[in-house]
Structure 1
Amino acid sequence: MTIWTGFADMEFKLHYINANGIKTRILEAGKGDPLILLHGTGGHIEAYARNIRGLSEHFRVICIDMVGHGYTEKPNRPYGIDYYSDHLLGVIQALNLSQVFISGESLGGWVAAWFAAYHPEYVKALVLNTPGNVNNKPEVMQKLKESTVKAVVEANYENVKARLEWLMYDKSQVTEELIEARYNIYTQPDYQEAVHNIVYLQDIEARKQYSWDPSWCGKINVPTLLAWTDHDPTSTVEEGKPLQAMIPNSEFTVIKDAGHWPQWEQVEEFNNVLTNFLLQGSEKVAAK
């Protein structure tokens, strides 16, 4: 099933909103409590294409291109976690949402956690999927920065494919359509400038401002699940475990046979893990 033909018999809405002055692409499907999905560095809505159908059976799925990414507007300024968080707040307010579930992958997980710490009144529960910046490994940061910039500045089939394959345990999961979708995004004229703002967080001095730390993680007061994988190229299960100690009452699970995109490689398991946790978390909150 391809990305967009997979939605052919579904009711969904792909549109743009003004999120605090930023023209933002979003896809919505389903009914129920709102669930916002946040992609990773250099990502876009299509990163969750395999999950939207299943998740929309339980939630009002709201998948966005974060600021500077996809087809969302790209202001020329460094993109720090606080800036992504402010954009997320703008999306929530533009859609007139009171409380939401949030699931974020990589950069999106980092943003989701930060947002929950500083805007707890908007968040019902979190699923942080292979979240970013766990241990500031210089070699991982450098590889991510170089491969991201190369895929954009020297955009061609092989460079975009290599960037996507780095995310996967099973490289065959990188489809021709996914490569084409990302190539079309990366060859937008304004993306040539934006990519340098996107990789801002791959510099250690920039990262230090937002590094995972009990001082802010301790403010997260909603049910939180850390969803790791056994083949994440950015950090091991053991390296991810300290986050559980930082976030009060959080839970930890491992999705097997997946790399940095378990939502793409292990669709059914990812959807089940996310759905079960969020619905149970909602019940816990209601019971308080």
Structure 2
Amino acid sequence: MSQIHTLTMPKWGLSMTEGRVDTWLKQEGDRVEKGEELLDVETDKISSSVETPFSGVLKRVLARPDETLSVGALLAIIVDGDATDAEIDEVIARFQADFVPANDAAEASGPTAQKIELEGRTLRYFDLGEGGTPLVLIHGFGGDLNNWLFNHQALAADRRVIAMDLPGHGESGKTLRTGDLDELSHSVLGLLDHLDINTAHLAGHSMGGAVALNMARLAPRRVASLVLIASAGLGTEINGEYLQGFVDANNRNVLKPQLIKLFSDPGLVNRQMLEDMLKFKRLEGVDGALRQLVSQLFPDARQAVDLRPQVGQQPSLIIWGAEDGIIPAHHGEGLPAQVEVLPGQGHMVQMESADQINRLIGSFLKAL
């Protein structure tokens, strides 16, 4: 029995309403397997590849390069088995007749980020999903909750998931007091108190991994498990040239070479990403906050805090991109944890290989 599958424009993050087709990586008539990358799509945040959730033959390519389409729009038809052209035409016609494009008004009625005042400082967070032990997503140095835009919604299918902007980042307050891990960790604990969450799973990327580890040290009973992605705090090495270059960068030409170091595919660093980052860096208080964090956490281009002894006190999953150019993957060796190293991936592995990361985290949490 044949199955006719519709491949549609994905939704990466709640603010995404459309995407521009960049390049098709497969051609009509090609056999494709579930999980294979079919095309590259660019949004106002980042470029990324679309993976097929189906196996079969790519029978029809409906979205052309440089075409901008709404989230949910039809990209292609994949057929598993045999199907006539007439049957495929019927599926396409029915889909197009029923499809309602996303629009800004519909998006505005959906979930939005929230802000609270906590100990005299604003904290922004995004709260999705329900049920189970909540999962908190903690971004890295210079990032914000949008670093999880390919992960948050997918992970929230199974449980409540909260992403936040750490102090000094995103739309949270920019003033830091000590600029150390304790201050950042207490801000996350304060958000959990505000949300009446006694125990949570923590997933931290880069500096956010060190924040998660330090939370587990400060308040072990409140941490159900740790997911550490390219985590700081597990060794002394770090790319000091990147840190200083990122902090000092004040225009696109200077910033772009630094951001490229985060990704295995430099093409992901698009103009919009650069503009968004520069806009953030020019906000009052950001430069001082970033320099304070570097001096406290990464002085002399080294990591100042060793949190390796904390790993294994809670169930722990460690994920690294093998080609990480910021924090080396060998920092994950020899730890009492499930360690997954993804070949060919860089520092922003949760964005570049989102589907695989989401599967790893989902499986890890379900097994607990």
TM norm. shorter chain > 0.5: yes
Question: Counting strand residues as a fraction of each chain, which structure ranks higher?
Answer: 2
The answer for the alignment partner of 1:64 in structure 2 is: 164
Contact 1:109 1:131 in 2 (8 A): yes
Match of 1:16 among 106, 110, 115: 115
- In the TM superposition, 1:211-226 aligns within 5 A as 211-214=306-309, 217=310, 221-226=313-318
Give the 3 Å change call, closer, same or farther, for CA 78–196 of structure 1 in structure 2.
farther
User: Which structure has the larger Rg?
Assistant: 2
CA distance, structure 1, for counterparts of residue 290 and residue 328 of structure 2:
27
What is residue 125 of structure 1 aligned with on the other side?
225
2:130 corresponds to which letter in structure 1? K
For residues 169 and 238 of structure 1, the distance between their equivalents in structure 2, rounded to whole angstroms, comes to: 17
Correspondence 1:203 to 2:299: yes
Determine the C-alpha separation between the residues in 2 that align with 1:59 and 1:179.
33
Please give the alpha-carbon distance, in whole angstroms, between the structure 2 residues aligned to 1:99 and 1:212.
21
- SS at 2:113 equivalent: strand
AA partner of residue 333 (structure 2): K
Q: Which moved more, 1:24-33 or 1:12-21?
A: 12-21
* Residue ranges of structure 2 left out of the alignment (5+ in a row): 1-10, 18-70, 72-101
Matched residue, 2:94: none
Q: Call closer, same or farther: CA 1:78–1:142 in 2, change over 3 Å.
A: farther
- Among residues 279, 285, 297, which one is paired with 1:184 in the alignment? 279
Q: 2:268 aligns with which of 161, 173, 179?
A: 173
Give secondary structure in 1 for the equivalent of 2:333. Answer: helix
Counterpart AA for 2:207: L
C-alpha displacement at 1:30, in angstroms? Answer: 1.6
1:213 shift after superposition: 4.2
Provide the residue aligned with 1:252 in structure 2: 339
Over aligned residues, Cα RMSD in angstroms?
Answer: 2.3
Distance 1:227 1:76, change over 3 A: closer
8 Å CA contact retained: 2:167, 2:173 = yes
Q: Residue 109 of structure 1 contacts residue 128 of structure 1 at CA under 8 Å; is this kept in 2?
A: yes
1:240 to 2:335 alignment: no
Is the helix fraction higher in 1 or 2? 1
Counterpart for residue 144 of structure 1: 242
The answer to whether the 8 A contact 2:239-2:327 is kept is: no
* 2:16 is the counterpart of 1:5: yes
| 1:128 to 1:86, Cα distance in 2 relative to 1, 3 A | same
Counterpart Cα distance in 2 of 1:192 and 1:18: 22
Q: Counterpart of 2:137 in structure 1: which amino acid?
A: L
Counterpart position of 2:256 = 161
Q: Secondary structure at the match of 2:162?
A: strand
CA distance in 2, matches of 1:147, 1:82: 25
Q: Which amino acid aligns with 2:126?
A: L
Instruction: Report the count of equivalent residues.
Output: 267
| Structure 2 residue 185 is matched with structure 1 residue 85 | yes
> Where do 1:20-39 residues align within 5 Å?
20-32=119-131, 33-39=133-139
Gaps of 5+ in 1: 282-288
* Pairing partner for 1:112 from 212, 215, 219: 212
What is the one-letter code of the residue matched to 1:20? Answer: E
Q: Which amino acid aligns with 2:298?
A: Q
State the percentage of identical aligned residues: 25
Q: C-alpha deviations, 1:233-258, integer Å up to 9, x for none? A: 1343333214x1xxxx4211112331
Question: Aligned equivalents of 2:308 and 2:160: distance in 1?
Answer: 32
